[in-house]
Amino acid sequence: MVRKRRAKPSAVRILIVDDEPSIISFVDQTMRLAGYRTYTAPNAKAALEICEHNGLPDLLLTDFKMPGMDGDALAARLRQREPDLKVLYLTGFADQLFTERGALWRDEAFLEKPCTVNGLLEAVSMILSGDYGDYQDHV
């Protein structure tokens, strides 16, 4: 059996993007308490600026629907620089995500809002390790 090595949380950089301050606060606090390094942005434009100054994250954790550039377009922009970027969409519009997209790409997953601390931590751990496909059926 081949096991994938999980990165130590302190070495993993997560960019959190959401237009709802309460969601950013919840996700940021949860990820920091778990030991991850986080950056936060209230919109895609600010997220792109963060990436220009700090480099690309290991995981983009973004709202799917936001004013201006949405999370899907943001992920596409960042993937021009890093095709293997992992993306976790946090969305209250999962049905719309699949209506618009049809399916998720490799290294993408979604978690519906509202989510629990444990659900968020498990989803992040699974997508970072590449095992998210097994988890997605249970979200």
CB-based contact 56:80 (threshold 8 Å): no
Candidates 25, 19, 37; CA nearest to 91 is 19
- Residue 1 domain flag: no
Q: Which long-range contacts (CB under 8 A, 24 or more apart) does 52-57 make?
A: 54/13, 55/13, 56/81, 56/82, 56/85, 57/13, 57/14, 57/15, 57/85
- Nearest 5°: the CA angle 67, 29, 9 is 105
Write down the pTM of the prediction. Answer: 0.83
CATH code for the domain of 50: 3.40.50.2300
| 80-121 pLDDT per residue, tens | 999 999 999 988 765 665 566 555 657 888 888 889 999 999
- The answer to whether position 4 is within a domain reads no
- Is residue 2 one of the residues assigned to a domain? no
Q: For the chain, how many structural domains are there in total?
A: 1
